[in-house]
Amino acid sequence: MTDLLRQEIAATATTLVVKVGTRVLTHSDGLLNEERIGQLAEELHQVIASGRRVALVSSGAVGAGMGRLGLSNRPADLAHLQAVAAVGQSLLVEAYERSLRAYGHHAAQILLTAEDLDHRTRYLNARNTILTLFDFGAVPIINENDTISVDELRTAFGDNDRLAAMVTNLIQAPLLVLLSDVEGLYDGDPQTPGRRVIPTVDRLDQSTYDLVKDRLTGLSKGGMASKLNAARQATAAGENVIIASGRQPGTLRKILAGESVGTLVLAEGSVLAARKRWIGFTAQPRGYLVLDDGARQAIQTQGRSLLAIGVVKVLGRFNKGDIVGLRDTAGREFARGLINYNSDDIQRVRGLKTHEIADVLGRCPYDEVIHRNNMAVTG
């Protein structure tokens, strides 16, 4: 069944980012399912044949490596996982290349760490590479660089859902498709009889997240919470997201036809400029400022710059030009921006009126702590 809203979204989606998870690409024993990759390659070809561009964020390197090394169990420690991923990465891309070549396309491997997208120049280089690959008619196959990404070094994305959202913002793709092992977001526990997939989410609020929380522990269950977080990143920048089953052949074709499959999460607000996407949803904050309610409201609802008088507390150490997160008095982050002062100077002038800054610092190089042009509201 087609949907007029979905038809409009599909018609205007000139570029897609498709993320496919490990459970979609592997058999029950964890090994790579090359038949499913062949089916996915056919659907990617259909996207390209429709005149659209598509980038694929793909898991599956560990499963591919297990198969090539003859392992029956997934390694538990980090070093072995990274080694298996290194072996499997080439096999995974080979499988995509072999399948895509049958339709006249090539697979182009791109391995990223969070540090790559955190650095402005490397971020732009990644963007230019992906856009140039589109010109060649190739399909970028993007994955985290598992062999060197570790949480301790702050180089890991955490999961490929988050990476997919970052890639969506990186290339300003109007539509992100998260292909999962479930049909979409359910109106309750999917294991409970009678539960149904929610066709459309107008706004990602707490009630939406409550649908994927365990009633006893309050913790998010499974991978749906990470998909909602990814959807929040993309929709806050003005793009649409569809969460659907990657195990059902033809899902991408149905999405392009405007059929009601999975859960559509609608964009919130206007489309953000590329630079503000990097500030708000990609670069990691080097510190935080806690603001009073008046400053928060001025930024969130009026699009104003941040002045020193609105700063209540300084958290962390940062330099002029770093990305700094803005929090309300309850500790909730609602914006990020490029700071005009270092943390020591902000500590000295917080709560002061602009004309008082020079009396304390001996100078007032900027009226604004963060100018509105260098700020992005994130929540």
Over residues 195-208, the pLDDT tens digits come to 899 999 999 988 99
pLDDT of 32 reads 84
Do 153 and 144 contact (CB within 8 A), yes or no? no
Of 229, 320, 336, which Cα lies nearest the Cα of 275?
A: 336
Q: Are residues 242 and 99 in the same domain?
A: yes
Which two structure tokens, joined as six digits, stand for 52?
């659209």
Q: Are residues 265 and 292 in the same domain?
A: no
Collect all residues with Cβ–Cβ distance below 8 Å to 262 and sequence separation of at least 6.
Answer: 183, 184, 197, 242, 243, 244, 245, 251, 255
Q: Is the dihedral of CA 341, 345, 347, 351 positive or negative?
A: negative
Q: Are residues 79 and 203 in the same domain?
A: yes
Neighbours of 229 (CB within 10 A): 17
Domain stop point among 244, 276, 308: 276
pLDDT of 155 reads 45
- DSSP string of 29-60? TS-B-HHHHHHHHHHHHHHHHTT-EEEEEE--
Collect all residues with Cβ–Cβ distance below 8 Å to 208 and sequence separation of at least 6.
Answer: 185, 201, 228
Domains of the chain: total: 2
Collect all residues with Cβ–Cβ distance below 8 Å to 62 and sequence separation of at least 6.
Answer: 22, 30, 74, 81, 84, 85, 88, 146
**Please, which pLDDT band fits residue 211 given cuts at 50, 70 and 90?**
confident
Q: Are residues 289 and 272 in the same domain?
A: no
Full residue range of the structural domain in which residue 337 is found = 285-377
* DSSP bridge pairs for 26: 32
Q: Is the dihedral of CA 210, 261, 31, 104 positive or negative?
A: negative
> Does pTM surpass 0.85?
yes
- DSSP string of 218-283? --B-TTHHHHHHHHHHHHHTT-EEEEEESSSTTHHHHHHTTB--SEEE---SSPPPHHHHHHHHTS
Q: Are residues 292 and 255 in the same domain?
A: no
Which two structure tokens, joined as six digits, stand for 366?
């900027």
Q: What is the mean pLDDT of residues 258-286?
A: 92
Domain stop point among 257, 276, 295: 276
Residue 63 has pLDDT above 90, yes or no: no
Domain stop point among 256, 276, 296: 276
Which two structure tokens, joined as six digits, stand for 176?
């992100």
Percent of the chain with pLDDT over 70: 93
Q: Are residues 294 and 174 in the same domain?
A: no
Q: What is the CATH number of the domain that holds 51?
A: 3.40.1160.10
Q: What is the mean pLDDT of residues 230-246?
A: 95
DSSP 305: P
**Please, which pLDDT band fits residue 175 given cuts at 50, 70 and 90?**
very high
Q: Are residues 332 and 250 in the same domain?
A: no
Q: Are residues 170 and 227 in the same domain?
A: yes
pLDDT of 150 reads 55
Strand order in the sheet with 15-20: 107-112, 139-144, 53-58, 15-20, 175-180, 240-245, 263-265, 200-201
**Please, which pLDDT band fits residue 2 given cuts at 50, 70 and 90?**
low
Over residues 120-136, the pLDDT tens digits come to 999 999 999 999 999 99
Q: Are residues 329 and 245 in the same domain?
A: no
The residue type at 59: S
Q: What is the CATH number of the domain that holds 317?
A: 2.30.130.10
Q: Are residues 81 and 192 in the same domain?
A: yes
What is the distance between the alpha carbons of residues 38 and 48, in angstroms, rounded to a whole number? 15
Do 19 and 178 contact (CB within 8 A), yes or no? yes
pLDDT of 185 reads 94
Backbone angles phi, psi at 220, to 5 degrees: -70, 145
Q: Are residues 263 and 324 in the same domain?
A: no
Q: Are residues 316 and 256 in the same domain?
A: no
Pairwise pLDDT comparison (153 vs 28), residue with the higher score: 28
Residue 154 has pLDDT above 50, yes or no: no
Over residues 4-58, the pLDDT tens digits come to 899 999 999 999 999 998 889 888 887 888 899 999 999 999 999 999 999 999 9
Token pair 């970052």 in the structure block, residue: 166
Residue 347 has pLDDT above 50, yes or no: yes
